[in-house]
Structure 1
Amino acid sequence: MPSAVKKVLHWLFWGFLIYAVITNPDRAADIVRAVWDIISQGFLNIGRFFNQLMGT
């Protein structure tokens, strides 16, 4: 993708993010919490996998 397109998409993303937080901060916080839970559970599951793999 050309650099100009990436820059426009980048600004659109951040603009939408700011708009979403300003217009509905409770929902935005719920989304961030859900994403954080998914990421943290993923890391925990990877750790469990390697623990089982190593036999501990």
Structure 2
Amino acid sequence: MPPIKKIVTWLLVIFLLYAIFTSPTDAANMVGSAWDVVTNGVGNIGRFFDSLIARS
């Protein structure tokens, strides 16, 4: 059986490079959107624990 994880990783890297080279503006927008989702998620987790501590 071929190493599936290694194959999938290489396919993902090739796809990302293709996306960056063919439309860099769209790729930058996608990365920016993903970063916004991550920062909002971390902020929401922080607010959850702040409110949890404040109720105690």
TM-score w.r.t. the length of structure 1 is 0.91
Partner of 1:50: 49
Report the aligned-residue RMSD.
Answer: 1.5
1:27-46 aligned at under 5 Å gives the runs 27-46=26-45
Unaligned runs of 5+ in 2: none
How far is 1:3 from its partner? 6.1
User: Does residue 15 of structure 2 align to residue 16 of structure 1?
Assistant: yes
The alignment of Structure 1 onto Structure 2 pairs a total of residues equal to 55
Unaligned runs of 5+ in 1: none
1:8-37 deviation digits (Å, cap 9, x = unpaired): 111000000000000000000000000000
1 CA distance for matches of 2:32 and 2:16? 15
Aligned-residue sequence identity (percent) comes to 42
2 CA distance for matches of 1:41 and 1:33? 12
